[in-house]
Structure 1
Protein backbone atom coordinates (compact mmCIF):
# COMPACT_ATOMS: atom_id res chain seq x y z
CA UNK A 1 0.00 0.00 0.00
CA UNK A 2 1.64 3.28 -1.11
CA UNK A 3 2.09 5.42 1.98
CA UNK A 4 2.67 9.10 2.69
CA UNK A 5 4.15 9.98 6.08
CA UNK A 6 3.71 13.57 7.30
CA UNK A 7 5.69 14.81 10.27
CA UNK A 8 5.65 18.12 12.12
CA UNK A 9 8.25 17.02 14.65
CA UNK A 10 7.77 18.35 18.17
CA UNK A 11 6.21 21.57 16.94
CA UNK A 12 2.64 22.65 16.29
CA UNK A 13 1.89 23.04 12.59
CA UNK A 14 -1.88 22.72 12.17
CA UNK A 15 -1.70 24.46 8.78
CA UNK A 16 0.17 21.47 7.32
CA UNK A 17 -2.27 18.97 8.83
CA UNK A 18 -5.24 20.93 7.43
CA UNK A 19 -3.56 21.17 4.02
CA UNK A 20 -2.67 17.48 3.73
CA UNK A 21 -6.14 16.32 4.80
CA UNK A 22 -8.07 18.71 2.56
CA UNK A 23 -10.28 17.00 -0.05
CA UNK A 24 -8.23 18.50 -2.90
CA UNK A 25 -4.93 17.25 -1.51
CA UNK A 26 -6.31 13.80 -0.70
CA UNK A 27 -7.61 13.61 -4.26
CA UNK A 28 -4.14 14.55 -5.57
CA UNK A 29 -2.61 11.81 -3.42
CA UNK A 30 -5.05 9.14 -4.55
CA UNK A 31 -4.55 10.16 -8.18
CA UNK A 32 -0.85 9.37 -7.59
CA UNK A 33 -1.73 5.95 -6.17
CA UNK A 34 -1.21 6.72 -2.49
CA UNK A 35 -3.63 4.77 -0.31
CA UNK A 36 -2.35 5.37 3.23
CA UNK A 37 -1.66 8.61 5.07
CA UNK A 38 0.20 8.59 8.41
CA UNK A 39 0.28 11.89 10.32
CA UNK A 40 2.57 12.77 13.21
CA UNK A 41 0.82 15.91 14.48
CA UNK A 42 3.11 16.88 17.37
CA UNK A 43 1.72 19.54 19.72
CA UNK A 44 -0.91 20.69 17.26
CA UNK A 45 -4.54 21.10 18.16
CA UNK A 46 -5.73 18.84 15.33
CA UNK A 47 -5.73 15.05 15.41
CA UNK A 48 -7.87 14.02 12.42
CA UNK A 49 -10.20 11.06 12.86
CA UNK A 50 -9.46 7.88 10.93
CA UNK A 51 -12.57 8.34 8.80
CA UNK A 52 -12.00 12.02 7.96
CA UNK A 53 -10.25 11.39 4.62
CA UNK A 54 -12.29 9.31 2.19
CA UNK A 55 -10.39 6.97 -0.14
CA UNK A 56 -7.27 6.75 2.05
CA UNK A 57 -6.45 4.89 5.23
CA UNK A 58 -5.61 7.59 7.78
CA UNK A 59 -3.59 7.16 10.96
CA UNK A 60 -2.68 10.05 13.24
CA UNK A 61 -0.66 10.32 16.42
CA UNK A 62 1.12 13.00 18.41
CA UNK A 63 4.52 11.53 19.33
CA UNK A 64 6.54 8.31 19.31
CA UNK A 65 9.96 7.56 20.70
CA UNK A 66 11.15 7.23 17.11
CA UNK A 67 9.61 7.96 13.72
CA UNK A 68 12.26 5.87 11.93
CA UNK A 69 9.82 3.01 11.24
CA UNK A 70 7.23 5.39 9.77
CA UNK A 71 9.89 6.92 7.54
CA UNK A 72 11.11 3.48 6.46
CA UNK A 73 7.58 2.29 5.59
CA UNK A 74 6.69 5.47 3.68
CA UNK A 75 6.99 5.93 -0.06
CA UNK A 76 6.90 9.71 0.38
CA UNK A 77 7.75 11.84 3.43
CA UNK A 78 6.37 15.33 3.86
CA UNK A 79 8.13 17.24 6.60
CA UNK A 80 7.63 20.56 8.36
CA UNK A 81 11.16 21.58 7.23
CA UNK A 82 12.77 20.46 10.46
CA UNK A 83 16.42 19.65 9.92
CA UNK A 84 16.22 16.34 11.77
CA UNK A 85 13.15 15.12 9.89
CA UNK A 86 14.55 16.11 6.49
CA UNK A 87 17.97 14.58 7.11
CA UNK A 88 16.52 11.38 8.61
CA UNK A 89 14.19 10.94 5.63
CA UNK A 90 16.88 11.66 3.06
CA UNK A 91 19.32 9.41 4.89
CA UNK A 92 16.79 6.59 4.65
CA UNK A 93 16.64 7.12 0.89
CA UNK A 94 13.07 8.40 0.95
CA UNK A 95 11.65 11.05 -1.33
CA UNK A 96 11.17 14.00 0.92
CA UNK A 97 9.21 17.20 0.79
CA UNK A 98 9.61 20.17 2.97
CA UNK A 99 6.60 22.36 3.60
CA UNK A 100 6.85 25.44 5.76
CA UNK A 101 5.52 28.94 6.03
CA UNK A 102 5.83 29.26 9.80
CA UNK A 103 9.60 28.99 9.93
CA UNK A 104 10.55 31.96 7.82
CA UNK A 105 14.03 33.41 8.23
CA UNK A 106 15.56 30.54 10.18
CA UNK A 107 18.21 27.92 9.55
CA UNK A 108 15.70 25.13 8.89
CA UNK A 109 14.07 27.00 6.04
CA UNK A 110 17.49 27.88 4.64
CA UNK A 111 18.52 24.23 4.78
CA UNK A 112 15.31 23.08 3.08
CA UNK A 113 15.75 25.61 0.29
CA UNK A 114 19.39 24.59 -0.22
CA UNK A 115 18.48 20.89 -0.34
CA UNK A 116 15.78 21.80 -2.87
CA UNK A 117 18.25 23.76 -5.01
CA UNK A 118 20.60 20.75 -4.89
CA UNK A 119 17.70 18.52 -6.08
CA UNK A 120 17.65 16.41 -2.90
CA UNK A 121 14.10 17.30 -1.90
CA UNK A 122 11.07 19.16 -3.15
CA UNK A 123 10.04 22.32 -1.34
CA UNK A 124 6.65 23.96 -1.22
CA UNK A 125 4.40 25.84 1.16
CA UNK A 126 1.04 24.71 2.49
CA UNK A 127 -0.72 26.96 -0.02
CA UNK A 128 1.09 25.26 -2.93
CA UNK A 129 1.07 21.69 -1.54
CA UNK A 130 -1.84 20.35 -3.61
CA UNK A 131 -0.57 21.75 -6.89
CA UNK A 132 2.96 20.57 -6.16
CA UNK A 133 1.64 17.05 -5.47
CA UNK A 134 -0.21 17.07 -8.78
CA UNK A 135 2.86 18.17 -10.74
CA UNK A 136 5.63 16.38 -8.83
CA UNK A 137 8.30 14.38 -10.60
CA UNK A 138 10.22 12.46 -7.96
CA UNK A 139 12.57 11.06 -10.61
CA UNK A 140 14.43 14.39 -10.73
CA UNK A 141 15.57 14.09 -7.10
CA UNK A 142 19.21 13.22 -6.50
CA UNK A 143 20.24 10.75 -3.78
CA UNK A 144 21.43 12.39 -0.60
CA UNK A 145 24.80 10.91 0.23
CA UNK A 146 25.55 10.50 3.93
CA UNK A 147 28.35 12.46 5.52
CA UNK A 148 31.80 11.01 5.98
CA UNK A 149 32.73 11.73 9.60
CA UNK A 150 35.96 9.73 9.34
CA UNK A 151 37.28 12.28 6.84
CA UNK A 152 36.63 15.07 9.34
CA UNK A 153 38.23 13.09 12.17
CA UNK A 154 41.26 12.44 9.96
CA UNK A 155 41.49 16.16 9.16
CA UNK A 156 41.35 17.07 12.86
CA UNK A 157 43.98 14.48 13.75
CA UNK A 158 46.27 15.84 11.06
CA UNK A 159 45.61 19.50 11.97
CA UNK A 160 46.29 18.86 15.64
CA UNK A 161 49.39 16.81 14.92
CA UNK A 162 47.96 13.67 16.48
CA UNK A 163 48.64 11.65 13.36
Structure 2
Protein backbone atom coordinates (compact mmCIF):
# COMPACT_ATOMS: atom_id res chain seq x y z
CA UNK A 1 0.00 0.00 0.00
CA UNK A 2 2.76 2.46 0.90
CA UNK A 3 4.58 1.77 -2.40
CA UNK A 4 1.40 2.40 -4.43
CA UNK A 5 0.89 5.68 -2.58
CA UNK A 6 4.51 6.71 -3.25
CA UNK A 7 4.14 5.77 -6.92
CA UNK A 8 1.02 7.94 -7.17
CA UNK A 9 2.72 10.84 -5.38
CA UNK A 10 5.78 10.69 -7.61
CA UNK A 11 3.72 10.45 -10.81
CA UNK A 12 3.72 13.63 -12.84
CA UNK A 13 1.13 13.25 -15.56
CA UNK A 14 0.60 15.41 -18.60
CA UNK A 15 -3.03 15.10 -19.66
CA UNK A 16 -3.93 15.95 -23.26
CA UNK A 17 -7.55 16.47 -24.26
CA UNK A 18 -9.14 17.15 -27.64
CA UNK A 19 -12.70 17.13 -26.30
CA UNK A 20 -15.33 15.48 -28.48
CA UNK A 21 -13.73 16.62 -31.72
CA UNK A 22 -11.14 15.23 -34.10
CA UNK A 23 -7.87 17.07 -33.55
CA UNK A 24 -5.31 14.65 -34.98
CA UNK A 25 -2.71 17.38 -35.50
CA UNK A 26 -2.57 17.96 -31.72
CA UNK A 27 -2.33 14.23 -31.00
CA UNK A 28 0.42 13.89 -33.63
CA UNK A 29 2.29 16.85 -32.11
CA UNK A 30 2.36 15.37 -28.59
CA UNK A 31 3.30 11.97 -30.01
CA UNK A 32 6.57 13.24 -31.46
CA UNK A 33 9.86 12.08 -29.97
CA UNK A 34 10.99 15.68 -29.33
CA UNK A 35 7.85 16.66 -27.40
CA UNK A 36 7.91 13.49 -25.29
CA UNK A 37 11.62 13.94 -24.55
CA UNK A 38 11.06 17.58 -23.55
CA UNK A 39 8.19 16.65 -21.23
CA UNK A 40 10.34 13.94 -19.65
CA UNK A 41 13.27 16.37 -19.30
CA UNK A 42 10.94 18.78 -17.49
CA UNK A 43 10.05 16.07 -14.95
CA UNK A 44 6.91 14.48 -16.38
CA UNK A 45 6.60 10.72 -15.96
CA UNK A 46 3.29 9.95 -17.71
CA UNK A 47 1.48 11.19 -20.81
CA UNK A 48 -2.23 10.43 -21.08
CA UNK A 49 -3.91 11.45 -24.34
CA UNK A 50 -7.66 11.69 -24.92
CA UNK A 51 -7.94 11.31 -28.72
CA UNK A 52 -11.69 11.88 -29.17
CA UNK A 53 -12.98 11.18 -32.68
CA UNK A 54 -9.51 11.25 -34.18
CA UNK A 55 -8.10 8.54 -36.40
CA UNK A 56 -4.43 9.01 -35.46
CA UNK A 57 -3.38 6.50 -32.80
CA UNK A 58 -0.42 7.57 -30.64
CA UNK A 59 2.36 5.19 -29.71
CA UNK A 60 1.92 3.60 -26.27
CA UNK A 61 4.96 3.21 -24.05
CA UNK A 62 5.55 1.47 -20.73
CA UNK A 63 8.44 3.75 -19.85
CA UNK A 64 10.82 0.82 -19.45
CA UNK A 65 13.40 2.58 -21.61
CA UNK A 66 13.61 5.47 -19.10
CA UNK A 67 11.06 7.55 -20.97
CA UNK A 68 7.48 8.70 -20.49
CA UNK A 69 4.76 6.16 -19.87
CA UNK A 70 2.28 6.91 -22.69
CA UNK A 71 -1.34 5.79 -22.91
CA UNK A 72 -4.50 7.02 -24.64
CA UNK A 73 -8.28 6.64 -24.72
CA UNK A 74 -11.10 7.96 -26.89
CA UNK A 75 -13.81 9.25 -24.54
CA UNK A 76 -14.73 9.34 -20.87
CA UNK A 77 -17.99 10.34 -19.21
CA UNK A 78 -15.97 12.94 -17.30
CA UNK A 79 -12.41 14.20 -17.58
CA UNK A 80 -12.54 15.92 -14.18
CA UNK A 81 -10.43 13.27 -12.42
CA UNK A 82 -7.83 13.37 -15.19
CA UNK A 83 -7.61 17.15 -14.90
CA UNK A 84 -7.31 16.99 -11.09
CA UNK A 85 -4.48 14.46 -11.19
CA UNK A 86 -2.51 16.18 -13.97
CA UNK A 87 0.59 18.25 -13.33
CA UNK A 88 0.19 19.87 -16.78
CA UNK A 89 -2.79 19.97 -19.14
CA UNK A 90 -2.50 20.36 -22.90
CA UNK A 91 -5.94 21.10 -24.30
CA UNK A 92 -7.87 22.05 -27.39
CA UNK A 93 -9.33 25.56 -27.23
CA UNK A 94 -12.81 24.61 -26.02
CA UNK A 95 -14.02 27.01 -23.34
CA UNK A 96 -15.27 24.20 -21.08
CA UNK A 97 -11.89 22.47 -20.99
CA UNK A 98 -10.07 25.77 -20.57
CA UNK A 99 -12.11 27.09 -17.65
CA UNK A 100 -12.37 23.72 -15.90
CA UNK A 101 -8.56 23.47 -15.95
CA UNK A 102 -8.03 27.09 -14.88
CA UNK A 103 -10.41 26.68 -11.92
CA UNK A 104 -8.18 23.81 -10.76
CA UNK A 105 -5.11 26.10 -11.00
CA UNK A 106 -3.30 23.67 -13.28
CA UNK A 107 -0.64 24.84 -15.74
CA UNK A 108 -2.31 24.84 -19.15
CA UNK A 109 -1.19 24.91 -22.74
CA UNK A 110 -4.08 25.58 -25.10
CA UNK A 111 -3.47 24.39 -28.64
CA UNK A 112 -5.61 26.17 -31.21
CA UNK A 113 -7.02 24.14 -34.09
CA UNK A 114 -6.38 26.38 -37.08
CA UNK A 115 -8.46 24.10 -39.32
CA UNK A 116 -11.73 25.29 -37.75
CA UNK A 117 -13.70 27.95 -39.61
CA UNK A 118 -14.59 31.15 -37.72
CA UNK A 119 -12.40 30.01 -34.86
CA UNK A 120 -13.68 32.12 -31.97
CA UNK A 121 -11.86 29.72 -29.65
CA UNK A 122 -8.52 31.19 -30.71
CA UNK A 123 -9.64 34.62 -29.50
CA UNK A 124 -10.43 33.23 -26.04
CA UNK A 125 -7.14 31.35 -25.84
CA UNK A 126 -5.09 34.31 -27.04
CA UNK A 127 -6.80 36.70 -24.60
CA UNK A 128 -6.22 34.37 -21.64
CA UNK A 129 -2.60 33.87 -22.73
CA UNK A 130 -2.13 37.64 -22.93
CA UNK A 131 -3.43 37.86 -19.35
CA UNK A 132 -0.85 35.18 -18.43
CA UNK A 133 -3.40 32.57 -17.28
CA UNK A 134 -2.19 29.96 -19.79
CA UNK A 135 0.18 29.31 -22.65
CA UNK A 136 -1.13 29.29 -26.22
CA UNK A 137 0.22 27.32 -29.17
CA UNK A 138 -0.66 25.71 -32.46
CA UNK A 139 0.39 22.12 -33.18
CA UNK A 140 3.49 23.32 -35.06
CA UNK A 141 4.70 25.43 -32.10
CA UNK A 142 3.85 23.02 -29.28
CA UNK A 143 7.43 21.79 -28.80
CA UNK A 144 8.77 25.36 -28.55
CA UNK A 145 5.99 26.34 -26.15
CA UNK A 146 6.80 23.40 -23.89
CA UNK A 147 10.54 24.02 -23.98
CA UNK A 148 10.11 27.78 -23.29
CA UNK A 149 7.33 27.58 -20.71
CA UNK A 150 7.82 28.62 -17.11
CA UNK A 151 4.76 27.68 -15.05
CA UNK A 152 5.82 30.17 -12.40
CA UNK A 153 5.11 33.02 -14.80
CA UNK A 154 1.39 32.20 -14.93
CA UNK A 155 -1.16 34.28 -13.03
CA UNK A 156 -3.88 32.28 -11.24
CA UNK A 157 -7.28 32.67 -12.86
CA UNK A 158 -9.95 34.18 -10.61
CA UNK A 159 -13.51 33.56 -11.87
CA UNK A 160 -15.64 36.67 -12.10
CA UNK A 161 -18.69 37.37 -9.98
CA UNK A 162 -21.86 37.17 -12.08
CA UNK A 163 -24.11 38.45 -9.27
CA UNK A 164 -24.34 42.07 -10.54
CA UNK A 165 -25.28 40.88 -14.04
CA UNK A 166 -27.87 38.47 -12.65
CA UNK A 167 -29.40 41.23 -10.50
CA UNK A 168 -29.55 43.60 -13.47
CA UNK A 169 -31.21 41.01 -15.73
CA UNK A 170 -33.70 40.04 -13.00
CA UNK A 171 -34.49 43.72 -12.37
CA UNK A 172 -34.91 44.36 -16.08
CA UNK A 173 -37.28 41.39 -16.37
CA UNK A 174 -39.24 42.52 -13.32
CA UNK A 175 -38.25 39.76 -10.90
Aligned equivalent of 1:65 = 77
Aligned equivalent of 1:110 = 123
What is the Cα deviation at residue 160 of structure 1?
4.1
- 1:36 counterpart = 2:46: yes
Aligned equivalent of 1:97 = 109
What CA deviation, in whole Å up to 9, does each residue of 1:103-146 have, x standing for no partner?
A: 36421111111111111110011111111111111111111112
Matches of residues 8-157 of structure 1 in structure 2 within 5 Å? 8-51=18-61, 55-100=67-112, 101-103=114-116, 105-157=118-170
Aligned equivalent of 2:8 = none
What is the TM-score with the length of structure 2 in the denominator?
0.85
Whole-Å separation in 2 of the counterparts to 1:89 and 1:151: 25
What is the TM-score with the length of structure 1 in the denominator?
0.91
Using the TM superposition, name which of 62-71 and 81-90 deviates more.
81-90
Whole-Å separation in 1 of the counterparts to 2:96 and 2:159: 14
Determine helix, strand or coil for the equivalent of 2:144.
Answer: helix
Aligned equivalent of 2:15 = 5
Whole-Å separation in 2 of the counterparts to 1:137 and 1:62: 30
What is the Cα deviation at residue 49 of structure 1?
4.0
What is the Cα deviation at residue 161 of structure 1?
4.7
Whole-Å separation in 1 of the counterparts to 2:68 and 2:116: 29
